[in-house]
Amino acid sequence: MSDKHATRSIFAVFILIFFGHGPAVSGESGAPSTQAVQVKDKTVVDQVFQKILDQAFTVTLDPLSDMKAQAEDLGSHMYLLAVNVTLKAAPAGRETLEATARQLGGLSMDGTLEVDVGMVTLPAHVVKISNDPRTTEYFQRRVGSLVFIVELSLDNGETYRCATGDPWRLPITPAGQVYVSGGSATIQYLGVSPAFDTKDYGFVAIRKDAISFKYRATIPETDFKRLKKAEGKFIERKGTEREGECLKVEKPTARIQQ
């Protein structure tokens, strides 16, 4: 072989070695970074949370005509209106959570909710949405922001709004700590977990039975006569809700430009 051909072969080998090794450059094919996975999972969680708001609950209220017929006349032109509420987790909510847990490497199983230090147990299902602690925390805190409201609307656009974010009143809510053993789970308490780096924390509980409770709204006679609609729905906490209370929300007034 000539010296010219030998030099060319050595040069070719050098190029192959140079370009064949070294760290992957961002944008090249290969395993995605941890940050990229977390961003993708956060997007999935946001979509699931919206589905929970839209599809995960069945809400039952008494007809407004019945509420008004059974209202108590307190005198001094005031009425006490009782608003009976029944909430239940819809099948679509549980199915969405279970499918997402499978997608993100989480956990889903039947369990029980302990009440009065285990004296009473209630049937439930628990879901840990992901095997990543940050994603789990993000989702549990979003579920913890759920608030159920009843709006009692007047014919002039004003409303009375009753609100609760009490986890014992909500069919889907954070489970503070869950003990898992032998394919079943025991929920120790409800609420956001104190940490998310251990296997007992970061779950969401789905209650199997319906939950019923009652609001009481004290309404002046003039507003009582103008009541035209009662509606219950779930929203994300805005920070202005008052737990268990029914407060009047004034109709917004248009600003007058100077």
Report pLDDT for 40. Answer: 83
Report pLDDT for 37. Answer: 58
Bridge partners of 78? 75, 220
- Mean local confidence (pLDDT), 4-12: 41
Based on C-alpha coordinates, what's the Rg of the chain? 28
What are the phi and psi torsion angles at 16 (to 5°)?
-60, -40
Reported confidence tier of residue 214, pLDDT bands at 50, 70, 90: very high
pLDDT digit string (tens) for 135-163?
Answer: 999 999 999 999 999 999 999 999 999 99
- Mean local confidence (pLDDT), 42-55: 94
pLDDT(7) > 50: no
pLDDT digit string (tens) for 158-181?
Answer: 999 999 999 999 999 999 999 998
Q: Indicate the pTM of the whole model.
A: 0.81
- Amino acid residing at 247: L
In whole angstroms, how far apart are CA 161 and each of 49, 52, 115, 253? 23, 21, 30, 18
E strand intervals along 155-249: 159-164, 172-181, 184-190, 203-207, 211-220, 227-236, 246-249
Report pLDDT for 242. Answer: 84
- Mean local confidence (pLDDT), 42-63: 95
pLDDT(32) > 70: no
